[in-house]
Amino acid sequence: MNSFEFFNPVHVIFGAGEVSRIGAEAEKLGRKALLVSYRDVGFFGDLPARIHGWLADAGVACADAFLATANPKVSEARDGVAIGRQVGADLVIGLGGGSAMDLAKVIAAGLLYPHDVKQMFHFSHSGAGVRIAPTEALPLLMIPTLPATASEMNPTAVITDEETLRKSYVWEPACLYPRVSILDPALTLSLPAYQTACGALDAISHAVEPFFFSDEATYGNLALHDQLQMGVIRAIYENLEKVLQNPRDLQLRGLMQWSATVGLNGWLTCGVQGWTPMHQMGHVLSSHFGATHGATLACMMIAWLRFFDRRPDNARFVKFSRLLYGKDSPAEAARQLEAYVRHVGVQSRISEFGCTAADLDTLTAGLVDVSFGADGKLASVPKIDRDEARRIYELAL
């Protein structure tokens, strides 16, 4: 293992019905809440009204910023900051999946940030452009409703700059951890099948990436990490089909929710590879084609397995194939994973997002623009160059 620091201060409250504690928890943190959720908030029925009620009972005023869309945009964050300023918000509540929670984080930091919110993001990894890290944020409470991103228990937010079609992230342990996250699996019972499956595949990818890209030569003994990562992968992989068959089962939904949180709350990546090259490739598919995040990761996992099938440096891909499918063949793992992805109703090829061979150069250029380092490579183990990245996109068509 490499040297590391671990710090995760999020107070997690888990359980069916626990969302009703939002008032008592908010009261400890402020008096004027800004509730950040989706533009299409009608999906939640009377939940926002009930949240208003619990907050009012605790003496906390609440204004709405129902702005988030899938793959949230810089303009939505700017609008949210303007609303927060107008109402004098002193805490921010995120209600929804990763998009809503990430937007809540950006707004909470943006309200104390003297620059345009766009400047807090890593829109270039080659040293080009000026990035200014946020150092403080209003207190954040999260009510996650989609098991996927673990935004409820990590210090990251992802956003798309709709002017440049760049999608990237901010990761700031200093200020972007939520104070409290209420994980109420009852809120996930009505999730549609496609969102459920995409969320699960995203969460699986959060454990697959450190597994693929942490090798013994670089990181030493991985006995603990392999088991932790495979545990999360297996738990979600086996549970997803059951959830889709029994969507109203609270225990299955609860397992899905906590598994997804554990997938990216920091436990799986202490001392090993935490960077996510497959996510970098997936982000370009979302920013250019509007593809759902989890679906892009499904396509990338399959394509990376196929790309590494016959390479001499594919030991981690072979090990993954053996542990999950009992075969020392990344190509066979890709075949079985693709069958699984299709079985749970998610796209397994980027052509299903509208990508064609004519788009490969654009996708590769988008990846290089945001995610390639000054050395002209995508950080990965092994590192990936421009031609190899293009080939992986091609294998995903």
**Footprint of Zn ion on this chain (CB under 5 A)?**
202
**Closest CB 376 distance from Zn ion, rounded Å:** 25
**Residue with the shortest CB distance to Zn ion:** 202
Instruction: Report the residue number, 76 or 202, with the smaller CB distance to Zn ion.
Output: 202
3-state DSSP assignment of residue 386: helix
Instruction: Report the residue number, 151 or 321, with the smaller CB distance to Zn ion.
Output: 151
**Closest CB 205 distance from Zn ion, rounded Å:** 6
Instruction: Report the residue number, 278 or 389, with the smaller CB distance to Zn ion.
Output: 278
Q: Which two tokens stand for residue 164?
A: 């440049």
Q: Which residues contact 152 (CB under 8 A, 6 or more apart)?
A: 10, 12, 101, 142, 144, 178, 181, 183, 261
Question: For residue 242, with 0-12 CB atoms within 10 Å meaning exposed, 13-18 middle and 19 or more buried, which class applies?
Answer: middle
Sign of CA dihedral 38, 206, 257, 188: positive
Element holding 308 (H helix, E strand): none
Residue reference for tokens 């092994």: 382
Pair type for strands 156-161 and 166-171? antiparallel
Element holding 4 (H helix, E strand): none
Residue reference for tokens 């109703």: 345
**Closest CB 272 distance from Zn ion, rounded Å:** 17
Q: Which two tokens stand for residue 9?
A: 């201060």
Instruction: Report the residue number, 202 or 338, with the smaller CB distance to Zn ion.
Output: 202
Instruction: Report the residue number, 202 or 309, with the smaller CB distance to Zn ion.
Output: 202
**Closest CB 20 distance from Zn ion, rounded Å:** 29
**Closest CB 86 distance from Zn ion, rounded Å:** 32
Distance of CA 329 to the CA centre of its chain: 28
* Contact between residue 290 and residue 228 where contact means Cβ atoms under 8 Å apart: no
Instruction: Report the residue number, 149 or 314, with the smaller CB distance to Zn ion.
Output: 149
**Interatomic CA distance for residues 120 and 156, integer angstroms:** 11
**Closest CB 279 distance from Zn ion, rounded Å:** 6
Instruction: Report the residue number, 202 or 226, with the smaller CB distance to Zn ion.
Output: 202
* Contact between residue 175 and residue 134 where contact means Cβ atoms under 8 Å apart: yes
Instruction: Report the residue number, 280 or 364, with the smaller CB distance to Zn ion.
Output: 280
**Closest CB 149 distance from Zn ion, rounded Å:** 6
Upper half-sphere CA count for residue 227 (Cβ side, 13 Å): 3
Q: Which two tokens stand for residue 43?
A: 């999906």
**Closest CB 226 distance from Zn ion, rounded Å:** 20
**Closest CB 148 distance from Zn ion, rounded Å:** 7
Question: For residue 163, with 0-12 CB atoms within 10 Å meaning exposed, 13-18 middle and 19 or more buried, which class applies?
Answer: exposed
Degrees, nearest 5: CA angle 79-141-256: 110
**Closest CB 150 distance from Zn ion, rounded Å:** 8
Beta strands in the chain (DSSP E): 11-14, 32-38, 61-68, 91-96, 140-144, 156-161, 166-171, 180-183
Instruction: Report the residue number, 152 or 202, with the smaller CB distance to Zn ion.
Output: 202
Instruction: Report the residue number, 33 or 344, with the smaller CB distance to Zn ion.
Output: 344
Beta strands in 235-352 (DSSP E): none
